[in-house]
């Protein structure tokens, strides 16, 4: 069963298993995305790791371009359902806002990636 995680700030309080993670927008979860996602699933099964997909809400392009951003192919819920149907273990939806944008690379590693093991 796929678990949805909506707040990156709570990651340090969660006890997630060691994971293989992919990060992206995955808008549409099209055939190209499915190749990447299948690779994540293959590695996670081979190495007995959890599979994690991380994407951003709003999409960074929407954050920076506002109404000038391209139209979406899927909303976040449709993306989650598509990822769930593929068998992803955890879906991490990061709120892309000024606070997240302001994270240094080191803080991103410490507060987001390291808790994912």
CB 36 within 8 A of CB 42: no
Q: Which domains does the chain have, with CATH numbers?
A: 3-116 (3.40.50.620)
Q: Tell whether the torsion through CA atoms of 28, 31, 33 and 34 is positive or negative.
A: positive
pLDDT bin (cut points 50, 70, 90) of residue 75 is confident
pLDDT in tens, 16-42: 899 999 999 888 888 899 999 999 999
pLDDT reading at 12 higher than 80: no
CB 24 within 8 A of CB 4: no
Residue keyed to tokens 């069963």: 1
CB 106 within 8 A of CB 6: no
Angle at 42 between CA 79 and CA 80, to 5 degrees: 10
Residue 47 gets which letter from DSSP?
T
């Amino acid at each position: 069963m796929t678990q949805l995680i909506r707040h990156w700030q709570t990651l340090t309080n969660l006890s997630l298993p060691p994971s293989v993670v992919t990060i992206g927008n995955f808008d549409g979860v099209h055939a190209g995305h499915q190749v990447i996602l299948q690779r994540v699933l293959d590695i996670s099964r081979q190495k007995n790791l959890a599979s994690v997909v991380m994407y951003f809400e709003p999409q960074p392009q929407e954050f920076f371009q506002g109404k000038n951003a391209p139209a979406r192919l899927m909303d976040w819920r449709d993306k989650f359902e598509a990822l769930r149907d593929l068998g992803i273990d955890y879906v991490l939806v990061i709120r892309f806002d000024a606070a997240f944008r302001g994270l240094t690379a080191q803080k991103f590693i410490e507060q987001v990636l390291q808790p994912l093991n």
